[in-house]
Amino acid sequence: QEMQEELQLIFMDAVEDMQEYEHQLFLQNEARLRDYLESRGMEFVSVDNHSFRRIGAEAVYLSLSEEMKKLYLQISALE
């Protein structure tokens, strides 16, 4: 059964509020966990995204069948 338009708007507002609240909780928990881990000696490092992608792509390519490698190269050429 369909909701009335007014109820749909109220519902969508509530959904947006819940998403924002969840996102704030996530960020708070992430910061708390990072602080905890750093206080225990963990060191966070910046990732070299270019190298990570290159090495990851190479590993994926090597795991493919010959037929899939052809398709992979075609898709890669589109990027």
Q: pLDDT per residue over 17-68, tens digit each?
A: 999 999 999 999 999 999 999 999 999 999 999 999 999 999 999 999 999 9
pLDDT the model gives residue 14: 98
Helices (H), 1-79: 5-39, 49-63, 66-78
- Give the predicted TM-score (pTM) of the model: 0.54
pLDDT the model gives residue 3: 86
Q: Nearest CA to 22 among 11, 30, 12?
A: 30
The structural domains of the chain, with segments of one domain joined by +, span 1-44, 47-79
Residue 1 above 80 pLDDT?
no
Residue 15 above 90 pLDDT?
yes
Assigned token pair, 78? 């589109």
Cα–Cα dist 56/6, whole Å: 49
pLDDT the model gives residue 79: 76
